[in-house]
Amino acid sequence: MEYILSTNGLTKTYRNYKALNQLNMHVEKGSIYGFVGKNGAGKTTLIRLICGLQKPDGGEYILYGRKNSRKDIEKSRRRMGAVVETPSIYLNMTARDNLKEQYRILGLPSFEGLDELLKLVGLSDTGSKKAKNFSLGMRQRLGIAIALAGNPDFLVLDEPVNGLDPQGIIEIRELILKLNHEKNITVLISSHILDELSRLATHYGFIENGQLIKEISAKDLEAACRKCIRVTVSDMEALARVLFQLKADHQILPDHQADIFGEISISKLAIALANENCELLSVHERDESLESYYVNLVGGGRHE
C-alpha cells in the first residue's frame, strides 16, 4: 500500500491538554480521505502539524516517504496544497490577482496554467470583481485554486463546506471529485458533515479526543452498514436471550427495537422468539448511514 501521509503515535499538547494523543492514520495514494470528528476532536491540529504551522511534541508523521524530522521535509510539503480554517485570500483583489500573488509567493517562473486553474474552479468569468464581493462558495473555490497553484498532488481541506449554501456545497463536491478523478489528486477532507462526506470519501478516519478510533474504506463501511436488520419485538428480554443463543452481533435500541449485524436466518429468529412467547412485530433491512455508524462508534460498541 502506498501512503501519501501516515502518522505514528503523533501527539500535540497544548499546556496540559493533548489535542492529538498517539494518533495513527494512513492516507492512501489516490484516495479521498474523510477525516471525521466532533468539534475539538483534533482535526485542525493534525492539519496544522502536517502543513508545518506547528510542531508535534511526540510521535512522527511521514509525508511522501519523508519523516517530519528530516531537514528536507519542505520538499514533501511542496507537493501538498492546503486550505486551513478560512481560505487565505486578499479580499481587495480579483481572483486572477490573488492567484498571481500566490504564483509570486511560490516563486513560479511564469503565470502559465493560471487560466486553466481559474477555469477548473469555475472562476474564469469573475473579471474585475473583487474577492470581497464573492459568495462564500466562490471564496472557498478561490482558496482551493490558491492551494493548487504549485501543482500539488495532495490537497488538504479543513471543513471545506462549512457555512456554504446547498449550491455552494454541490460545487465544492464536484470540484473535489474532478480533482481526484481527472487530476489524480489525493484529498484529505476534515468534516463533521457526514452526509456530505459520504458522497465523496473513499476512506474514513474517525478521530475522537485526539485519537484515531477507526480507519475504514468506504467499501468496507458500506458492507458493514448493509448487513443490518432492524427488528421490533414484544419482549426485549426474550430477544436479548435469543440473540445471545444465536451468537448474533447486535445492538439493543429503545422502543423494543434492535439492530442485528451480519447474516441471520429470519425464520430461525422467528421460531426462537416464538419459543420464548415473544412476537416478532417487524423486520426491516437497514442501510445504516454513515451517521449512525459514527454514533455507534463514538457512543459505545456493539454487543456480541
We find the least distance from the C-beta atom of residue 48 to ligand ATP, in angstroms, to be 7
Tell me whether residue 83 or residue 118 sits nearer to ligand ATP (CB atom): 83
Q: Which of 259, 270, 190 is nearest to 225 (CA)?
A: 259
Q: Is residue 35 within 8 Å of residue 43, measured between CB atoms?
A: yes
Dig out the grid coordinates for 187 from the structure: 484529498
Site for ligand ATP, rule CB under 6 A: 14, 17, 19, 37, 39-45
At 21, is the secondary structure helix, strand, or coil?
strand
Burial 133-163 (b: 16+ CB within 10 A, else e): ebeebbbbbbbbbbbbbbebbbbbbbbbbee
Give the distance from CA 245 to its chain's centroid: 38
We find the least distance from the C-beta atom of residue 39 to ligand ATP, in angstroms, to be 3
We find the least distance from the C-beta atom of residue 253 to ligand ATP, in angstroms, to be 28
Residue 38 DSSP code: -
Residue with cell 480579483: 94
Q: With residue 188 as reference, give the H or E element that holds it.
A: strand 186-191
We find the least distance from the C-beta atom of residue 43 to ligand ATP, in angstroms, to be 4
Please state the three-class secondary structure of 203-244 as a single string.
Answer: EEEEEECCEEEEEEEHHHHHHHHHCEEEEEECCHHHHHHHHH
Residues in the chain: 304
Q: Is residue 38 within 8 Å of residue 208, measured between CB atoms?
A: yes
Q: Would you list the DSSP string of 77-144?
A: HTTEEEE-SS----TTSBHHHHHHHHHHHTT-SS-TTHHHHHHHTT-GGGTT-BGGGS-HHHHHHHHH
